[in-house]
Structure 1
Amino acid sequence: MSVRNFDALFAPRSIALIGASNRPHSVGNVVAKNLLSGGFDGAIMPVNPHAATIEGVAAFRALEALPQCPDLAVVATPAPTVPGIVADLAKMGCRAAIVISAGLGAAGSSGRTLRQEMLDHAKPKLMRIVGPNCLGLLSTPAGINASFSPVMPARGDIALVSQSGAIATAILDWAGSRGIGFSHVVSLGDMSDADFGDMLDFLSTDRATRAILLYVENVTFAKKFMSAARIAARAKPVLVIKSGRSAEGARAAQSHTGALAGSDLVYDAAFRRAGVLRVLSLESLFEAAATLATGIRIDGDRLAILTNGGGAGVLAVDWLEDLGGRLAEIGASTIEQLDAVLPPTWSHGNPVDIIGDATPERYRAALECLMQSRDADAVLVINCPTAVADNMEVGKAVIDVAKAMPRFPVLTNWLGGTTAAPVRALFAAERIASFESPEDAVRAFTHLVDYRRNQAQLMETPGAGVIIAEDDVAAARQIIAAAANDGRAWLHEWEAKEVLRLFGVPTVPTHFVPSPEAAARCFAEIGGPGVLKIVSPAITHKSDVGGVRLGIETSGQMLDAAEAMIAAVRAARPDATIAGFTVQPMVTRGDGHELIAGIARDATFGPVILFGRGGKEAEVVADRAVGLPPLNSVLARQMIAATEIAKLLRGFRNVPPVDMDRLTETLVRLSELAVLLPEVRELDINPLTANDQGVIALDARIAIDPLAERDAVAASRAVGPAIRPYPRELEHDVALRDGTAFHLRPIRPEDEDALAEMVMACAPEDLRLRFMGPMKAFPHQTAARFTQIDYDREMALIAVAPSAGYGEGPIFGVVRIVADPENEDAEFAVLVRSDMKGRGLGYVLMSAILDHARARGLVRVHGEILRENIGMRNLARDLGFHPRPSREFSDVAHVSITL
């Protein structure tokens, strides 16, 4: 992940266009015209071996003839020439190139693809490549139109990043007609180098960008994308539309779980986990762009509707209900205020119908009442054209009120064509969200609600995490290794259940027997009622071939059932080898719900967790949700809530609600299994029975790679978790000079309360020195931000008592580093509880974080310390930090250490 040399892309001092042309309508000619007319104030140097001028500007015959090395090169030449051109540019010192040329998938002279040859030439010089096979790049702050787009967008604060050039031009054309501007538009094409992760990293800190739109066909490096997307989405709204919503990856799945966890569901889960808002159509993306262009933000989900047409208001309410929104309740005091300014025939409810003859003054008065009342979180103003009121004047009245209260969200819908268009244009010019139909406006509002809800959910504090003992993990690995050494792709049912038991998932004791007679003897030992299942390596779904018998009451019945089962299975599958049976006690739980839970592996995002309605109809009903590990209690509950069966799990009539804590914990434990046992390819618990007494796995199947333990190459091809899991390997015990023992471990989301308590236990002066300003409170959002970290880009270690569990305090000290996207430089911060100062805990914490920085390959660690903070400056000096140049009269000392 890197934004190195991105300044050459978005703020170059000079641009060379290789392949510039005077031939009308050629790509080289269109790009040349766009570059020269875009407003770029640096040098533009066309390169063409056969032309003295390009569009009236002096051209150069070859790269060697250029008067200076360009910061940015735009390449629009035939594919076979591109690797050589990139090689020459890299030797010159050019730092970035936009390769518009297509066809680089063909083989080059070396036998490698032209694309790979190009990258091989660029990499040693750290030259960045956008493309190939792309539309190009447009950046309005720098006046760059290095593309063959037919339009140059107006300047705005929305960035658009698209894999498809055609989609990018469609969005630009649509936005131009509505006066919506962009900061940057980037067509990534084949994403040979610069990809979504890189662009999100750059745009997250780009001051010219307030919102980001993505058109995604596929993600290449999932961990990189997730890390960048989570950071960007916390800084500004990120919206995405993903094409190709198919389940192609599910077709080869071997279990219910694998079949249900289709690729698009995984993308959906990834976007949700990152805090990115997904929309499902270009129309929705356009609406979102229009909304974001206004800078509108909301604090809740209550919508008030103000209209002069009752029918239009009712349509808006219908759409609000269909899209999951909430109609605001108008309070008695607000109704009283509206009564004072509206005719007696107004609707006296929400929608606030102020009658068809509504004047601008009536709109103004009603809107002021609604905005001042705070009964709603946003107001949608609808206007239907009438002959008795000037809708332009009504629009101006709405703008006046909205400007008087700029923090209150106002959306507008002026119905009609000829008379409404000028008003909508005025709204766009005044940055008031405007839509052509009530449906569009309501959908835009629900997008804002969903985005806010996503962000709030990311900040929820989970309960204490689960701890899987290392001995149990080792025992589970031994079971898998034994099966792999036998060449098996599946664990036996009793092995799968033992693995689950080791990870704390309740299971039914299951016994393997080789014959009907052994089944009868086993039944006599465990008692009844019992369950008999066939064991055959060729049979995946036992019940489909008569391989399951329930409710067996006696040993004789068990013997008869086993013999009958052999006959039934042989009739259905004569080719199947029967290895024996499993016998287990029958678990009957009144009002128990049959659920499915499991693990599947996605080619892009690695392991995923699935939950939903179970039983025989699991694949037919397909009521399921997918989540990315690692999960915590909050994320697991969100998965459960996303299913239809969640309504039943809450209880109904005389059926009590299920034990949600146990169900949630089961998903968290499966998440730990997915992370700690990468050898597991698929895991299927169906059914997982749940009721108010808890949960229990009645059947379980685990697929493994037979080569997982023996073939290092095959193991290396497995895609790991897209989100770095909790790095338990960093946990260790330490002792201070006085012998006081502590346990150092990475911080976890459930440590939020303990961290807040630690901060508030510190002296105000210590907090001022740490945060470089007064700190009176440590609110939830701040504490959540400090505890819900990306272990890939950020690390925080805390000191707790040796016996403290996850989420348990007190915390005595915390140290953190945040690395740059290049993984070279990181900034540190450290805080020790005031009553622990002077005992060496700060030195221990800093030493531990520096060890981690060295291990992950960081080059430098730096920090800023108030000059009056003598203790921290001395600590930094003792650890080997050196002063960095700073302003002569600055009150901040800059220190750094080279690792």
Structure 2
Amino acid sequence: MDGDALPPGYPHEWEADVVLRDGSVGHVRPILPQDADRVRRFHAGQSAESIYLRFFAPLKELSEKDIHRFTEVDYVDRVALVVTHREEIIGIGRYDMISPTSAEVAFNISDHYQGRGIGSVLLEHLADIGRDAGLTSFEAEVLPQNHRMLAVFADAGYAVSRRVEDGVVVVHFDIEPTEKSESVRLAREHRAESLSISGLLAPQVLAVIGAGRTPGSAGHEILRHLLDGGFTGQLYAVNPTAEEILGVETHPRVAAIPAQVNVAVVAVPAASVLEVVDDCAQAGVHAVVIVSAGFAEKGKEGQRLERRLLRLARDSGMRIVGPNSFGIINTALSMNASLAPQRIPAGHFGLFAQSGPLGIAVLQSAGRRGLGLSSFASAGNRLDVSGNDLMQYWIDDDQTHGVGLYLESMGNPRKFSRIARRLAMAKAVIVVKSGVSRHGAPPGHRVRETEVDPAAFTAMLRQAGVVHVDTIHQMFDAAQVLIYQPEPPGDRVAIVGNSVQLSALTAQAAESAGLRIAHGPSSVDAEAPLDQFRKKLQKAFADPGVDSVVVTFTPPLIGREEEAIAIIGEVAAGSEKTCVATMIGTRGIADGPPLTVEVPTDDGRAPRKLPLYTTPEDAIRALGHATRYAAWRRKEKGELLSRAGVVKVGAQEIVDAALAAEPGGLMLPHEEARKLLATYGIDLWPRVRVTSADEAVAAAEEVGFPVVVKSLSPMVRGQATLQGVRLDLPNGDAVREAYDSLEDRLAAYDRAAYVVQRMAHPGVSCVVAGTEDHLFGPVVSFAIAGLAHDLLHDVAYRIPPLTDVDVDELISEIKAAPLLTGYKGAPPVDRLALADVVGRLSMLSDDLPELASIVLNPVIAHPAGVDVLGAEVVLAPPAKRKDIRRRALT
């Protein structure tokens, strides 16, 4: 973009980088007055047919009046976006309001970039901008022969109506998202990002830039690893001072290579990277893997260099892995474009790591276990390509049956959650991450700070079906079961061994992991013949009440171990039940990590691998992960919440008016909070603030007896022993006495904040809350009010949008949940009514990023329904969410 001053009201938040249909990247931004020459060049490059289809006339040149009208917009009633490649315009989309709720849209896509989905991207972005401005529908006039543009509207997922007027097709559709339009948007995002990573991991032509003659240097070693691995594509080296390196043809720059390079691995000093990447951009390289260090991890100058690097790549349509990356691997192509010297066996486990040192540890561990990999990527500073991108690719990759991600930071948890959920429906997703905080991100990683409880991150993973582990060791333990064993159909286990003590310890570990002992523990004598052990195993596998079998074996003599493994493998191979085994003694911890042993089958099926562990605890933990993941896959996921009774436009008007009066943010007064909640179908009870006993009596007569009088002072409410409330007051005298007693009791505290409210039904007092977090976006929580919430932090979390099942699980997850279902003879509360309030608050939090926080407290749940008695609603200027309803790389 030119360095000229931006016009007033320029909406920076509309800028976005988007992966297009062919896997390249386009930059979306609002149009500018200084785009005049770009628009002229764009128009001059269009065919006569394209010009006629857009303008309904053969306009060879645009007049100055046209140029001014196209480039001078107010970003309110007249909005225009452009998509650029290397700062040249390749697509234009605009709308002009024709009523307070409707606008006319028009698009013009470069002939040279047709078929890349640019029109669909512009429509998505314009619709989202229009909805934020209060628009509800779009219209467009299209010539009947303009099949491409008609297809853009028809394929968007909206309910489109058409009529013909004077030989022109007038298209009309509502732009409120529908289930179909959301499905279309996400499917397009998935296809584009999957294809983008496919181009990265499956190059036909690869160049190593900075490959030198000196062994040990990064470029030299990566080139050698590619050669040693037998890379099946074309391989080139870039070095201006050599003709060949390790027998590989060498060129002075990428542009000089006679073939079209798909991927370039960059191993030059940081100061030279920008020039090299620019050379790659001019040569049309799809992606660059930057192993060079010395960027954001080194300080502000490195951060500035990274920003320039990202902008250059995005403007040129390229993807970046790194900088400070350990490299990439694709065993299907025998491609080891990484710093890992060992040859990684081919397999079905996809791996993603961020930093180089951890990439080394992850690959070494996978190699020692014989757990073959399908593909691997190290993001380094995660400037561009992230774990989210890799998951999009793994969804489609037939070679990958399960994935592991070692995450040191997370840039977009909401997008991670929805992609991981889709991937986890078909393939296990195992994540190593202790949590998300501003203290956990390595130097160089671009992350936002988060203020939510770490439990929210764990809940997000569980909500998405992710297997969450603490260490690399545990990740591979779980992968051995999840990839190479049948999925456990339930939690019933059999325990078979040759040590009574060890079997008992294994049973204790299984119960602690939430597994049920359905068979055994059953043991043979340590000196018993192996045939007896075989019969015990066969009996366990034949038991119809068993879902998984855990085998523990301690060989009494050297040489019996391999025989035992063969017997376990043989029996397990003849069954569809999950099996894990622990070998104690001769195969101890000192001998290295657990192994997977290949077990042939007699029926022609692919060999099955039997996971072997060094301790029963490791085996049980891995089986527990597999069992819970299988249960998540089987369970109903529910439906998105009904929006009946939701008036988003009304809520937005209330919020906009409040922030217009207080631009810096504010807490809504009780009556304004009532109006806001009412737009989403939540009935907040009225209350009257009073400052004297006489006012309290008058207020009680207004709201109707019986009533409560309570203090709103934070000092009082934070001290359970102060008892700043008087309940069930039947008449004026009781109200007066209650008010006076509170005044006397709270004399040493802030007494001037009392309210009178109608007495609610007896029930369970709950807290339902929503928080707008800088990293996560909206986070919804639920708890039982009082000590469980305030002192014990017994709180459950979920990330919207929620399904009805998500809401039910949110309510049930807290330890105090039995209070809602009839604890010790109390009547159960109306769960449907409580779920309705929780669901409506989740939709409100999801829809309005201006809601910095909203706390409903108390929410009294009782057998006849739910009473919402209190609400604190804090508004603030909205921060830009990481995952919005339009495609964007973040």
**TM-score normalised by the chain length of structure 1:** 0.69
Is 1:273 the equivalent of 2:463?
Answer: yes
Is 1:417 the equivalent of 2:586?
Answer: yes
Residue of structure 2 equivalent to 1:696:
867
Is 1:630 the equivalent of 2:801?
Answer: yes
Q: Which residues of 2 match residues 220-619 of structure 1 at below 5 A?
A: 220-246=411-437, 262-328=452-518, 330=519, 350-387=520-557, 390-405=560-575, 407-418=576-587, 427=597, 431-457=609-635, 459-461=636-638, 465=642, 467-470=644-647, 473=648, 476-477=651-652, 479-481=654-656, 483-487=658-662, 489-513=666-690, 515-534=692-711, 548-551=724-727, 552=729, 555=732, 558-559=735-736, 571-572=748-749, 581-587=754-760, 589=762, 592-615=763-786, 618-619=789-790
1:353 maps to amino acid: S
User: Would the alpha carbon gap of residues 541 and 104 (structure 1) be closer, same or farther in structure 2, given more than 3 Å must change?
Assistant: farther
User: Would the alpha carbon gap of residues 76 and 94 (structure 1) be closer, same or farther in structure 2, given more than 3 Å must change?
Assistant: same
CA contact (8 A) 2:829 2:861 kept: yes
Distance in 1 of aligned mates of 2:487 and 2:480:
13
1:451 maps to amino acid: Y
**Could you report, residue by residue, the CA deviation over 1:823-875 in whole angstroms, capped at 9, with x for unpaired residues?**
xxxxxxxxxxxxxxxxxxxxxxxxxxxxxxxxxxxxxxxxxxxxxxxxxxxxx
Distance in 1 of aligned mates of 2:258 and 2:546:
62
User: Would the alpha carbon gap of residues 247 and 501 (structure 1) be closer, same or farther in structure 2, given more than 3 Å must change?
Assistant: farther
TM-superposed deviation, 1:287: 0.6
* Range moving further from structure 2, 174-183 or 215-224: 215-224
SS at match of 2:293: coil
CA contact (8 A) 1:158 1:292 kept: no
User: Would the alpha carbon gap of residues 541 and 246 (structure 1) be closer, same or farther in structure 2, given more than 3 Å must change?
Assistant: farther
Residue of structure 1 equivalent to 2:227:
36
User: Would the alpha carbon gap of residues 155 and 244 (structure 1) be closer, same or farther in structure 2, given more than 3 Å must change?
Assistant: same
User: Would the alpha carbon gap of residues 264 and 16 (structure 1) be closer, same or farther in structure 2, given more than 3 Å must change?
Assistant: same
CA contact (8 A) 2:654 2:676 kept: yes
TM-superposed deviation, 1:448: 0.8
User: Would the alpha carbon gap of residues 610 and 358 (structure 1) be closer, same or farther in structure 2, given more than 3 Å must change?
Assistant: same
Distance in 1 of aligned mates of 2:583 and 2:815:
37
Residue of structure 2 equivalent to 1:739:
none
**Could you report, residue by residue, the CA deviation over 1:135-168 in whole angstroms, capped at 9, with x for unpaired residues?**
1111111111111124332111100011232222
User: Would the alpha carbon gap of residues 220 and 438 (structure 1) be closer, same or farther in structure 2, given more than 3 Å must change?
Assistant: same
User: Would the alpha carbon gap of residues 64 and 388 (structure 1) be closer, same or farther in structure 2, given more than 3 Å must change?
Assistant: closer
User: Would the alpha carbon gap of residues 676 and 568 (structure 1) be closer, same or farther in structure 2, given more than 3 Å must change?
Assistant: farther
CA contact (8 A) 1:629 1:723 kept: no
User: Would the alpha carbon gap of residues 318 and 57 (structure 1) be closer, same or farther in structure 2, given more than 3 Å must change?
Assistant: same
SS at match of 1:94: coil
TM-superposed deviation, 1:189: 1.8
SS at match of 1:682: strand
User: Would the alpha carbon gap of residues 463 and 474 (structure 1) be closer, same or farther in structure 2, given more than 3 Å must change?
Assistant: closer
2:695 maps to amino acid: A
CA contact (8 A) 2:232 2:335 kept: no
* Range moving further from structure 2, 88-97 or 658-667: 658-667
TM-superposed deviation, 1:94: 1.7
**Could you report, residue by residue, the CA deviation over 1:745-792 in whole angstroms, capped at 9, with x for unpaired residues?**
xxxxxxxxxxxxxxxxxxxxxxxxxxxxxxxxxxxxxxxxxxxxxxx8
Matched residues, percent identical? 29
Distance in 2 of aligned mates of 1:547 and 1:647:
25
User: Would the alpha carbon gap of residues 677 and 75 (structure 1) be closer, same or farther in structure 2, given more than 3 Å must change?
Assistant: closer
CA contact (8 A) 1:508 1:697 kept: yes
TM-superposed deviation, 1:88: 0.6
CA contact (8 A) 1:198 1:228 kept: no
**Could you report, residue by residue, the CA deviation over 1:274-298 in whole angstroms, capped at 9, with x for unpaired residues?**
3222223333212112223424322
TM-superposed deviation, 1:464: 7.8
Unaligned runs of 5+ in 1: 250-258, 331-349, 706-713, 725-791, 794-820, 823-899
2:229 maps to amino acid: G
TM-superposed deviation, 1:516: 4.6
CA contact (8 A) 2:830 2:865 kept: yes
Distance in 1 of aligned mates of 2:551 and 2:348:
25
Is 1:651 the equivalent of 2:813?
Answer: no
**TM-score normalised by the chain length of structure 2:** 0.69
1:153 maps to amino acid: I
Distance in 2 of aligned mates of 1:308 and 1:500:
64
CA contact (8 A) 2:696 2:756 kept: yes
Residue of structure 2 equivalent to 1:170:
361
2:426 maps to amino acid: A
Distance in 2 of aligned mates of 1:540 and 1:29:
69
Distance in 1 of aligned mates of 2:201 and 2:682:
52
Distance in 1 of aligned mates of 2:596 and 2:781:
48
1:70 counterpart (256, 261, 269): 261
Residue of structure 1 equivalent to 2:393:
202
**Could you report, residue by residue, the CA deviation over 1:474-533 in whole angstroms, capped at 9, with x for unpaired residues?**
555555455434426112234434544553345443123465532232124445443334
Distance in 2 of aligned mates of 1:631 and 1:5:
29
What is the number of residues matched between the two proteins? 678
SS at match of 1:160: strand
**Could you report, residue by residue, the CA deviation over 1:327-365 in whole angstroms, capped at 9, with x for unpaired residues?**
22x4xxxxxxxxxxxxxxxxxxx1122232332222222
Distance in 2 of aligned mates of 1:687 and 1:148:
57
Distance in 2 of aligned mates of 1:238 and 1:106:
29
CA contact (8 A) 1:359 1:389 kept: no
2:216 maps to amino acid: H
User: Would the alpha carbon gap of residues 263 and 718 (structure 1) be closer, same or farther in structure 2, given more than 3 Å must change?
Assistant: farther
CA contact (8 A) 1:685 1:700 kept: yes
Residue of structure 2 equivalent to 1:93:
284
1:187 maps to amino acid: S
Is 1:81 the equivalent of 2:81?
Answer: no
Distance in 1 of aligned mates of 2:550 and 2:500:
14
CA contact (8 A) 1:546 1:565 kept: no
Q: CA RMSD in A?
A: 3.6
User: Would the alpha carbon gap of residues 263 and 217 (structure 1) be closer, same or farther in structure 2, given more than 3 Å must change?
Assistant: farther
Distance in 2 of aligned mates of 1:60 and 1:549:
82
CA contact (8 A) 1:535 1:582 kept: yes
CA contact (8 A) 1:248 1:263 kept: no
CA contact (8 A) 1:491 1:703 kept: yes
CA contact (8 A) 2:637 2:803 kept: no
User: Would the alpha carbon gap of residues 650 and 28 (structure 1) be closer, same or farther in structure 2, given more than 3 Å must change?
Assistant: same
SS at match of 1:292: helix
CA contact (8 A) 2:696 2:736 kept: yes
Is 1:719 the equivalent of 2:889?
Answer: no
Q: Which residues of 2 match residues 671-690 of structure 1 at below 5 A?
A: 671-690=842-861
User: Would the alpha carbon gap of residues 545 and 502 (structure 1) be closer, same or farther in structure 2, given more than 3 Å must change?
Assistant: farther
* Range moving further from structure 2, 428-437 or 475-484: 475-484
2:410 maps to amino acid: V
1:651 maps to amino acid: G
SS at match of 1:129: strand
SS at match of 1:287: helix
SS at match of 2:783: strand
Distance in 2 of aligned mates of 1:177 and 1:3:
30
SS at match of 2:824: coil
Q: Which residues of 2 match residues 30-179 of structure 1 at below 5 A?
A: 30-55=221-246, 57-105=248-296, 113-179=304-370
CA contact (8 A) 2:770 2:779 kept: yes
SS at match of 2:211: coil
CA contact (8 A) 1:385 1:419 kept: no
CA contact (8 A) 2:767 2:855 kept: yes
